[in-house]
Structure 1
Amino acid sequence: MPPSPSLSSFFPIFLFFSILQSTHLFSLALNEEGILLLRANLPIPGWSAAAATPCNWTGVACNRFGSVAALSLSGASLSGAFPISLCDLPSLSNLSLSNNSINSSLPAAVSACRNLVSLDLSQNLLVGSIPSTLSDLPFLRHLNLEGNSFSGQIPPSFGTFRQLETLILTENLLTGPIPAALGNITTLKRLLLPYNHFSPSPIPPELGNLTDLEELWISDCGLTGPFPPSLGRLQRLRNLDLSDNLLSGPLPSQIMGLTSIEQMELYNNSFSGSLPQLGWSHLTNLRRLDASMNKLSGTIPTELCGLPLESLNLYENKLEGLIPESIALSANLIELKLFANPLSGLLPRDLGKNSPLQILDVSYCNLTGGIPEFLCSNGALEALILISNDFSGSIPASVAKCRTLQRVRMRGNRLSGEVPDEFWGLPNAYLLELHGNLFSGGVSPLIAGATNLSTLSISSNNFSGSLPREIGSLDALIELSASGNVFSGEIPSSIVNLKQLGRLDLSNNDISGGIPIGIHELVQLNELNLAQNRLSGPIPDEIGDLPVLNYLDLSNNRFSGEIPASLQNLKLNKLNLSSNLLTGNTPPLFAGDAYSDSFLGNPGLCIRASGSCSRGGSGRSRVFLWILRSSFAAAALVFLAGVVCFVIKYRKLGRMKRNRGAATKWTSFYKLGFSESEISDCLKEANVIGRGASGKVYQAVLSNGETVAVKKLHDRAIRDASSNATISSLDSDGDGFETEVETLGRIRHKNIVRLWCCCSAGRCKLLVYEYLPNGSLGDVLHKGAKRILDWPTRFKIALDAAEGLSYLHHDSVPPVVHRDVKSNNILLDGDFCAKIADFGVAKVVKKTANNGLESMSVIAGSYGYIAPEYAYTLRVNEKSDIYSFGVVLLELVTGRPPIDPEFGEKDLAAWVRSTLESHGTSDVVDPKLGLAKFEEQVGRLLDIGLLCTSNLPIARPSMRRVVNMLQELVALIPKSQEKKPRNSILI
């Protein structure tokens, strides 16, 4: 029997398996750098201790030795303090934490990240001073701190950077002068400092030492003095933007040194003098010159126009003389904008012949002659803008066939002849404006090919013949203005197919027949003007069913029969039915002085006033004759009736005085169909439909059957800042009641709530509005018991609200900033048409002495809707309204409120961005929506909402542009249903 092994013989085997097991366990343990990342407490999905190394984690990249070299956590929903522990990663060279919500100061200890080559902290909420220790980073080449709230001066120590190539400090709160020490960073290639609040001072001449500089951008920084001659030494400069400053004087001759410049923008400065003859021929690489919105005078240099330019923008200056013919020789010219200059002479004859010209705008000049025939020779022309010149002749056939044209504006010239047939049917044109010329002939049936046309303005010409029935196939048409021509025949019946039509003006023509049957189908129609024609027959009863019509002029025609009672359903700002053949009685709502001129020249019409009847043919004179012929008995009856009314009103007045909330001073803004004295009787607790710290809102059903909403405000109440309420409804320079009265009292628009009347008595103030039965958008979207809105309704609400805000910003005189745009301030009528309400904190836009915007003493707005820059600048700006409106668009798409516990520390805009990046659209869109036919439209509306909520105000579109983008979506609905792939909206 073999001897049994001893215990010592098993020891080597045991040791081997022990080492093997420990090695295996080590391979499964997270390494030290992974542990370090987890300790930073960054909420990044997929970061787990179960891995052996972090190299495969989201946003982590390692070098060939397995050490973390780069962290890219842009848009990762980070918040709180800067994670300084990341500097303990020994090989970290690239750190990007952009587009997050880091809201602390940047610690000086960031200099411990010794190996950083690139640091990107843009688009966060960082505050305080920029640490001077950043310049201690020996290998740093790229530093991006754009879009934060850094304050104080740029550290002079920045001049000691050793290898820095990119320095971006755009859109902060930096002050003081631009330090001359920046001129010591000789490695710098890009220096971007725009949109800061630097002290008014010249550009440091030391910046001329940056001989490697390729891009210099110091826009809107308060720069003063002359154009700096030292910049002439920057021979590698490709992009120079000194726009929106206070620079003065001429361009210096030293600029001849910029032989490699590709883009030079001198936009919106205060240059004076003439464009100097600088030897422009030396700038052989110049591609884009923008010196617009200055005070440049003299002529446009011929040598400048002889360069191979791609873009030349000299608009809004004082340039005069001829446009040099040499501009037509450029083989690269894409854009030429010279509008608003006192130029003269002809457009260059060969313009567009040698280049892919896309945009030509020479509006508001004094140019003469014809339209050059080669403008579209290379098939690229998109915008042809010739407004208010003295052009003559006809539209060249080659231009008429330019299928790339999108915007055509020739208003206010002396162009003549027949418009070529092909011109009417341009397939990509969405704006065709020929108003105020001498054109003749008819509108071609080929107009059916203009499938994208939204505005057709051909008024004040000599067009004749009948409007073609094909015009009814233009599904995207929003405005048709053809007044002041000699059109004849009947209004084509197909016009009722234009479901998006908002304005129809065929006045002052020779059109006959009647109003087409089915006019009520034009549910977006806001203005109907058919005056000065030969129209006849009855006024269709269905006009009263047009939900948003507020302008109706049928005067100077041959309409007969009675006035339809349904017209009383309309909320009209203008009604004119005068000079027709109408008979019968005027509807009761139209009795009285408010409509006294609306029915003149209708001899058979009985105009009711004060219970009596006067014939329309005599106008007011009939009323006076009736008064003169009144008997003494009638006068006595009137007197007795007056006494009775006085007693009744006296008793009511006594009751009102006993009521502390009563009002004694009434101001009306419309002709009312009810008595103001009824209002106080309706202010009962049972009629309350809304409450707030500022007071209550009552529903008042009046004796005439009309329902109004009454807001009862207490003395200078401040709204509660909780529950998504308004932060402050009052500025120190005025109260909400006066603001709302002054604003709404003068505004007339279909998408802005009507203020019927108001009253003020001591500590009680009443505002009487039209009653909108579907309440606020916020309630409908976010209160569970309310109706679920389908997508077409939500889109209509978005467009309605956008048009209301666009009116406030662009068409109201003076412009108005609402300052509290939110879903709770968008009210819905019975057809879910949206109207902007609550103007208690609205502000008229005023310019300050330095052409800046007026600053407020307090923040106004609501949590979740306030634009980021508004919190620290307190400046009234329409861009803050646009941000708030963008949040409303995101509410419509997502169905979520602006603030929700699910979002954590983020608001709706930040949540949408982060969710889109990590999970895609499906997790963002409201699951209650059925998107089979509208998926593309929902996605594009989401894009518009994100664009409106851009952190940089300059990146947000104007409300007028927002309306245009939404209207373009309307035109795309049929194509969207076909599910064809399409490009995103052009911004």
Structure 2
Amino acid sequence: MLLNIAFFFLILSFPYTFCLNQEGLILQQLKLNFDDPDNFFSDWNDRDDTPCKWLAVTCDSVSHSVTSLDLSNANLAGPFPASLLCRMRNLTFISFYNNLLNSTLPEYDLPVCESLVHLDLAQNLLTGKIPSSFAELPNLKYLDLTGNNFSGEIPVSFGTFRQLEVLGLVENLLDGTIPAFLGNISTLKQLNLSYNQFFPGRIPSELGNLTNLETLWLTQCNLIGEIPDSLGRLSRLTDLDLALNALDGSIPSSLTQLTSLIQIELYNNSLTGELPPSGWSKMKALRRIDVSMNELSGTIAAELCELPLESLNLYENSLEGELPESIANSTNLYELRLFQNHLTGVLPKDLGKNSPLLWLDVSSNKFSGEVPTNLCEKGVLVEALMIDNSLSGKIPASLGQCRSLNRIRLSNNNLSGAVPDGLWGLPHVSLLDLKSNSFSGVIAKTIASASNLSSLILSGNKFSGNIPEELGFLASLLEFSGDHNVFSGSLPNSIVNLGQLGKLDLHDNALSGELPRGIHSLKKLNELNLANNDLSGNIPQEIGSLSVLNYLDLSGNRFSGKIPNALQNLKLNQLNLSNNRLSGDIPPLYAKVMYKNSFLGNPGLCGDIDGLCDGRSDGNNGCAWLLRSIFVLAGVVFVVGVVWFYWKYKNFRKVRRAIDKSKWTLMSFHKLGFSEDEILDALDEDNLIGSGSSGKVYKVVLSNAEAVAVKKLWGSTKIADESSDVEKGNVQDDGFAAEVETLGKIRHKNIVKLWCCCTTGDCKLLVYEYMPNGSLGDLLHSNKSGSLDWPIRYKIALDAAEGLAYLHHDCVPPIVHRDVKSNNILLDGDFGARVADFGVAKVVDANGKGTKSMSVIAGSCGYIAPEYAYTLRVNEKSDIYSFGVVILELVTGRLPVDPEYGEKDLVKWVCTTLDQKGIDRVIDTKLDSCFKEEICKVLNIGLLCTNPLPINRPSMRRVVKMLQEVGGVNQLKNASTKDGKLTPYYYEDASDQGSVA
């Protein structure tokens, strides 16, 4: 009976066990080789006759043998199964693009794949050396190993490929130099070695032998020396990219022999000499030229401008002469960037008339004459940037009809006349900069239509009349600078409606009347400068409620009455109330000698500042002397009592705190209302609010009821890193020194304020402003995350971005934070964000071109940019990647690393989930769906910031701008395309280069 049952089950199982053909069994074995969290292999059914209907499998229609296996974007993890794949003799196509393959490649299994034509292993985690046996595959035409962690040199055997047409080794860890033997692969059509840290080396002249080559990409390959003449023999070349290297010498004239060339990119090198003066006329296919950020001189050849160009980037060179008129005849020209050269003459009068011009930047040259009237003839102009020239005449009325405009910068020219009414009210303009010209007339009421305007800069002109009430309709306005004009009348009452306004500067005008009521609603006001006008009345008490105000200048007016005591609530870096008609007592916080200049020229003011109240009577002086004496005596008695109490209590305190106060050194960076003793006495465990690897953090409530946070670092916190010569001085290379050097000089509303530091032999203290809501990371990833609705998260992202943008663009030299993460973004009582923890911050090259190499990785797991992790080369792009991760945290509510992701991090999890499951599976479920459109835009910004290629990440200034646009009515700017792939727009105009902080 038992034998019959066993035979019955054997019969049932027989057809299912043996019906699948041999190649299907191989693929079933391959399936078991991988971790498949997304169940990609779900339809690989072992009961089928053949695998030909399985997902990702293609078979020959006659023989039914497997010819293609495409496992792209399948989220598979495991080793590359070369030995299994090569058992399928007719397999010609293999793709594992964008998976998590994590092994080394076998050296000897590969040659068995004799039929293989196409092998794509790009965007994985493969390591080790590249096998030399690839070259033994007789039919291989396509080999792409981009975006892995291969190391070592390119194998010598690669010079023996028989039929290879495409070789992609982008973004690996390859070293050595680019080998000359690659010039032996005569069949090669595409060679892409970009973004590898090769040893410094020259471009092999032998590459000129690749006469079938169509694409040559050697971007950021540590190339030096001159561009070889031999490249002029590549007659089929359509794309030449040698950008981001250290090439020098002149551009060889032989390159003008490349008649098939469509795109040439040589930007960010050290090329010298002139652009080839002739030969351009033969390059009829050329559409894009980018030789910016070099040291080129000479003139722009007329032949060059006669080509049917789409994009011409020659910025940041030393070019001279005039811009040929023929550039205006390029019917496809959409991008013209010539800023920071020495070009002269007038701009072509027909510029923009025949072409769909989008971006024009001719800033920082010596152009004269009028602004061309046809710049927006096609109605698509987005940016018109012409600062720092000698342009004259009026703004053409046609620009006032250009509704596509987003940024207008005409500052530092000789322009005059009235601004066209239409220009004031363009609906998409976010920046209108007319500074330092001779414009006259009034601000037109049409400005009410400029709903996206965030910066209005009119300083140093002859504008007059009243500031219109319509200005208060601009809900997105962040800055209004109208100083050194002739504005008159009172400030419009509607100005208090500008809830986003951060800077209001109208000093040196003829304004009169009182400050408008309701100024307390300007919650984000950081700078208020109304000096040298004719304003009167009392200084409003409500100014003291502007919590982020740090610059207040009301000097040179006719303000009267008392100084509001509420001003003591402010944390001001600049205060000036001099030369008014103020009277009464000075608030105690400011009744100090250090503030004397802030109150001069107010005869009625009183206070204990020598020389300020000389006009008072002797009787009053005597009375004041008596009162002071009484207070001094009372103070002495109090101090004696405190000393006695301390002496009696000394032994008990010695047990709790082994600190010798006499050895403490205090260094302050702001005006302090406390001493080191107040800090030291509060450093006990009852006040502990956090701890980390470098020390502990205490909350200290001062005698004036304000709170500060004190970070105590014990012993050495030395970080094995190169010292940064900050501000011409060699700083001790530890976290304490870096933080003091960095934060001690910074003044920005979104950077945590360092009040002072205290040091002794074995202990160091940093005293910061206290952030009641703690760190973003702690709050976002706790059970309190529900309190972070989307408007608050958006506000946090924008605040933090503005802080980082200040470090990158407004500090000279720029500062790279190197440890941007959610735990280093602190939140005040209103959830305003401050960037904190500068213990590993570094300054970067003053010339802005180089990166700085570090001997160890600084940063936190999940936030480290991929190129930083293996090259240890740091620049601003590393911070941008980390900030992108923070944005993804805000959108998803997830940790940057989590066991749930497997071997991925948050960035890869978001990308994979978006592709496979859609946006709803990515967005934090705690967020209200009514904000979905805005959340998606911010998510897109996060993905731009975490682009694996540093060059494709936007600058922090661009990130701030995009985030601001999300908060307005405009859509995010469309990404531009580069090399056939969607990439963020990353060019910076002359105005975005940073200034002295």
Whether the TM-score (by the shorter chain) exceeds 0.5 is yes
**Contact 2:299 / 2:319 at 8 angstroms: preserved in 1?**
yes
2:868 is aligned to 870
CA gap of 1:717–1:205, structure 2 versus 1, over 3 A, is: closer
Instruction: Give 1:846 shift.
Output: 4.1
2:773 is aligned to 774
**Could you tell which deviates more after superposition, 70-79 or 567-576?**
70-79
Unaligned runs of 5+ in 1: 1-14, 720-730, 977-982
**Could you tell which deviates more after superposition, 387-396 or 691-700?**
691-700
CA displacement 1:563-620 (0-9 Å, x = unmatched): 22222222222122222222222222222234322222222222355xxxx78566xx
**Contact 2:688 / 2:697 at 8 angstroms: preserved in 1?**
yes
Instruction: Give 1:970 shift.
Output: 1.0
1:199 maps onto 2:199 in alignment: yes
CA displacement 1:32-66 (0-9 Å, x = unmatched): 24423322224141424645255555544444355
Letter aligned with residue 242 of structure 2? L
1:941 maps onto 2:927 in alignment: no
2:826 is aligned to 827
Letter aligned with residue 811 of structure 1? D
2:913 is aligned to 915
TM, length-normalised to structure 2: 0.89
**Contact 1:410 / 1:434 at 8 angstroms: preserved in 2?**
yes
CA gap of 1:858–1:844, structure 2 versus 1, over 3 A, is: same
CA displacement 1:62-81 (0-9 Å, x = unmatched): 44355444333334333343
CA displacement 1:866-912 (0-9 Å, x = unmatched): 22222222223222222221111111111122222222222222222
Separation in structure 1 between the aligned mates of residue 174 and residue 898 of structure 2, nearest angstrom = 33
CA gap of 1:89–1:795, structure 2 versus 1, over 3 A, is: farther
**Contact 1:615 / 1:622 at 8 angstroms: preserved in 2?**
no
Separation in structure 1 between the aligned mates of residue 484 and residue 540 of structure 2, nearest angstrom = 24
Letter aligned with residue 32 of structure 2? R
Letter aligned with residue 72 of structure 1? D
2:989 is aligned to none
1:541 is aligned to 541
Separation in structure 2 between the aligned mates of residue 230 and residue 975 of structure 1, nearest angstrom = 44
Instruction: Give 1:251 shift.
Output: 3.0
**Contact 2:578 / 2:600 at 8 angstroms: preserved in 1?**
yes
**Contact 1:190 / 1:213 at 8 angstroms: preserved in 2?**
yes
Instruction: Give 1:707 shift.
Output: 1.4
Letter aligned with residue 284 of structure 1? K
Separation in structure 2 between the aligned mates of residue 854 and residue 70 of structure 1, nearest angstrom = 45
Separation in structure 2 between the aligned mates of residue 359 and residue 215 of structure 1, nearest angstrom = 27
Q: Secondary structure at the match of 1:345?
A: coil
CA gap of 1:492–1:636, structure 2 versus 1, over 3 A, is: closer
1:886 is aligned to 884
CA gap of 1:133–1:253, structure 2 versus 1, over 3 A, is: same
CA gap of 1:685–1:305, structure 2 versus 1, over 3 A, is: same
Letter aligned with residue 900 of structure 1? D
Instruction: Give 1:515 shift.
Output: 2.1
Letter aligned with residue 275 of structure 1? L
Instruction: Give 1:291 shift.
Output: 1.9
1:37 is aligned to 30
Instruction: Give 1:830 shift.
Output: 0.9
**Could you tell which deviates more after superposition, 189-198 or 19-28?**
19-28
CA gap of 1:422–1:644, structure 2 versus 1, over 3 A, is: closer
Separation in structure 2 between the aligned mates of residue 624 and residue 329 of structure 1, nearest angstrom = 83
CA displacement 1:240-286 (0-9 Å, x = unmatched): 12223333333333334211211122212222222233322222222
Q: What is the identity percentage for the equivalent residue pairs of Structure 1 and Structure 2?
A: 58
Separation in structure 2 between the aligned mates of residue 309 and residue 353 of structure 1, nearest angstrom = 15
Q: Secondary structure at the match of 1:440?
A: strand
CA gap of 1:776–1:28, structure 2 versus 1, over 3 A, is: same
Instruction: Give 1:433 shift.
Output: 0.8
**Could you tell which deviates more after superposition, 621-630 or 52-61?**
621-630
TM, length-normalised to structure 1: 0.90
CA gap of 1:196–1:537, structure 2 versus 1, over 3 A, is: same
**Contact 2:67 / 2:93 at 8 angstroms: preserved in 1?**
yes
**Contact 2:441 / 2:463 at 8 angstroms: preserved in 1?**
yes
1:971 maps onto 2:972 in alignment: no
1:818 maps onto 2:817 in alignment: yes
Separation in structure 2 between the aligned mates of residue 379 and residue 973 of structure 1, nearest angstrom = 17
CA gap of 1:112–1:916, structure 2 versus 1, over 3 A, is: farther
**Contact 1:147 / 1:952 at 8 angstroms: preserved in 2?**
no
Instruction: Give 1:342 shift.
Output: 1.4
Separation in structure 1 between the aligned mates of residue 640 and residue 949 of structure 2, nearest angstrom = 61
1:454 is aligned to 454
CA gap of 1:471–1:688, structure 2 versus 1, over 3 A, is: same
**Could you tell which deviates more after superposition, 808-817 or 428-437?**
808-817
CA displacement 1:824-858 (0-9 Å, x = unmatched): 1111111111111122222222479x964332232
CA gap of 1:21–1:870, structure 2 versus 1, over 3 A, is: closer
Letter aligned with residue 761 of structure 1? T
Q: Secondary structure at the match of 2:716?
A: coil
**Contact 2:469 / 2:494 at 8 angstroms: preserved in 1?**
yes
Separation in structure 2 between the aligned mates of residue 107 and residue 821 of structure 1, nearest angstrom = 39
Q: Secondary structure at the match of 1:884?
A: helix
1:735 maps onto 2:734 in alignment: yes
Separation in structure 2 between the aligned mates of residue 430 and residue 636 of structure 1, nearest angstrom = 60
1:334 is aligned to 334
Separation in structure 2 between the aligned mates of residue 338 and residue 454 of structure 1, nearest angstrom = 26
RMSD of the TM alignment (CA)? 3.4
Q: Secondary structure at the match of 1:211?
A: coil
Separation in structure 1 between the aligned mates of residue 601 and residue 851 of structure 2, nearest angstrom = 50
CA gap of 1:878–1:606, structure 2 versus 1, over 3 A, is: same
The 5 A counterparts of 1:804-815 are: 804-815=803-814
2:310 is aligned to 310
**Contact 1:585 / 1:608 at 8 angstroms: preserved in 2?**
no
**Contact 2:555 / 2:576 at 8 angstroms: preserved in 1?**
yes
1:924 maps onto 2:922 in alignment: yes
Q: Secondary structure at the match of 2:601?
A: coil
**Contact 1:864 / 1:899 at 8 angstroms: preserved in 2?**
yes
**Aligned residues between the structures:** 949
Separation in structure 2 between the aligned mates of residue 298 and residue 914 of structure 1, nearest angstrom = 50
Instruction: Give 1:28 shift.
Output: 8.8
**Contact 1:940 / 1:985 at 8 angstroms: preserved in 2?**
no
2:491 is aligned to 491
Letter aligned with residue 171 of structure 1? E
2:726 is aligned to none
The 5 A counterparts of 1:435-450 are: 435-450=435-450
Separation in structure 2 between the aligned mates of residue 534 and residue 56 of structure 1, nearest angstrom = 84
1:723 is aligned to none
Match of 1:73 among 67, 71, 74: 71
Q: Secondary structure at the match of 1:705?
A: coil
**Could you tell which deviates more after superposition, 111-120 or 769-778?**
111-120
Separation in structure 2 between the aligned mates of residue 690 and residue 965 of structure 1, nearest angstrom = 35
The 5 A counterparts of 1:580-729 are: 580-608=580-608, 645=639, 659-663=657-661, 664-717=664-717
Letter aligned with residue 45 of structure 1? N
CA displacement 1:534-569 (0-9 Å, x = unmatched): 222222222222232222222222222222222222
**Contact 1:424 / 1:450 at 8 angstroms: preserved in 2?**
yes
CA gap of 1:488–1:985, structure 2 versus 1, over 3 A, is: farther
Instruction: Give 1:740 shift.
Output: 1.5
CA gap of 1:321–1:623, structure 2 versus 1, over 3 A, is: farther
Q: Secondary structure at the match of 2:874?
A: coil
Letter aligned with residue 921 of structure 2? D
Letter aligned with residue 213 of structure 1? L
Q: Secondary structure at the match of 1:881?
A: helix
Instruction: Give 1:800 shift.
Output: 1.0
Letter aligned with residue 713 of structure 1? L
Q: Secondary structure at the match of 2:852?
A: coil
Separation in structure 2 between the aligned mates of residue 173 and residue 598 of structure 1, nearest angstrom = 58
**Contact 2:242 / 2:266 at 8 angstroms: preserved in 1?**
yes
Separation in structure 1 between the aligned mates of residue 428 and residue 567 of structure 2, nearest angstrom = 38
1:955 maps onto 2:948 in alignment: no
**Contact 2:952 / 2:985 at 8 angstroms: preserved in 1?**
no
Q: Secondary structure at the match of 1:768?
A: strand
The 5 A counterparts of 1:783-798 are: 783-784=782-783, 788-798=787-797
Separation in structure 2 between the aligned mates of residue 407 and residue 966 of structure 1, nearest angstrom = 16
Separation in structure 2 between the aligned mates of residue 888 and residue 171 of structure 1, nearest angstrom = 24
CA displacement 1:269-321 (0-9 Å, x = unmatched): 22222223332222222222222222222221122222222222222222211
